[in-house]
């Protein structure tokens, strides 16, 4: 089984899949998956969930998952580590300000779905 790595605290990507290319794989980070278009079945830890436009999945580290694509599908995928929400030790801030991140994420969701 493949195991994906994340080299930043957060990455945002749009992925289009017309057939099941991912195979069963794991992550060592969190993954938020928003279905922008398409239908299929999402297998998470041997549990099967039908998906369609507007569905959201949150995967935790070590979840094993794969997609069975029924119609061509477009995802917005946000990968992040738990340290993304930790305080920034380089700037000596008590709390990390994630408002800019969520504003950018909201912009992506609104622009890509229109």
Pairing of strands 10-17, 64-80: antiparallel
Cα first-last separation, the chain: 36
CATH topology of domain 2-83+91-113: Jelly Rolls (2.60.120)
Report the pLDDT averaged over residues 23-40.
91
Indicate the domain borders of the chain: 2-83+91-113
Say what the pLDDT of residue 69 is: 94
pTM: 0.73
Q: Is residue 62 over pLDDT 50?
A: yes
H-state helical runs in 1-114: 99-113
Calculated CA dihedral for residues 6, 33, 36, 25, nearest 10 degrees: 70
Cβ-contact 42, 49 below 8 angstroms: yes
Confidence of residue 65 (pLDDT cuts 50, 70, 90): very high
Q: Is residue 114 over pLDDT 50?
A: no
- What is the chain's Cα-based Rg? 15
């Amino acid at each position: 089984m493949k195991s994906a790595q994340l080299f930043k605290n957060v990455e945002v990507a749009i992925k289009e899949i017309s057939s099941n290319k991912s195979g069963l794989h794991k992550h060592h980070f969190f993954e938020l998956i928003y279905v922008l278009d398409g239908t299929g079945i999402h297998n998470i830890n041997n549990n099967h969930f039908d998906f369609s436009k507007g569905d959201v999945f949150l995967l935790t580290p070590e979840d094993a998952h794969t997609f069975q694509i029924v119609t061509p599908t477009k995802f917005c995928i946000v990968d992040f580590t738990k340290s993304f929400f930790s305080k920034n030790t380089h700037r000596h801030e008590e709390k990390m300000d994630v408002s800019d991140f969520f504003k950018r994420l909201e912009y992506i969701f609104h622009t890509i779905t229109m």
